[in-house]
């Protein structure tokens, strides 16, 4: 993840926060799909 921050010129902590947000959104979407599909 350090490389990502360097390539995007953003701090490592920001990369971690964004990663966590994306994982949470994906998990929420999976939960909704599982509920819909039963």
Cα–Cα dist 12/22, whole Å: 16
Give the pLDDT score at 38: 84
pLDDT at position 24 is 98
The domain spans of the chain are 2-37
Quote the pLDDT of residue 20. 98
Give residue 14's pLDDT: 97
Query: pTM, whole model, 2 decimals?
Result: 0.78
Query: pLDDT (tens digit, 0 to 9) for every residue of the chain, 38 residues total?
Result: 899 999 999 999 999 999 999 999 999 999 999 999 98
pLDDT at 6: 95
Q: Say which residues have a Cβ less than 8 Å from residue 2's Cβ, sequence separation at least 6.
A: 12, 15
């Amino acid at each position: 993840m350090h490389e990502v921050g360097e390539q995007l010129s953003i701090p490592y902590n920001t990369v971690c926060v964004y990663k966590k947000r994306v994982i949470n959104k994906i998990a929420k979407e999976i939960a909704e799909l599982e509920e819909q599909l039963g």
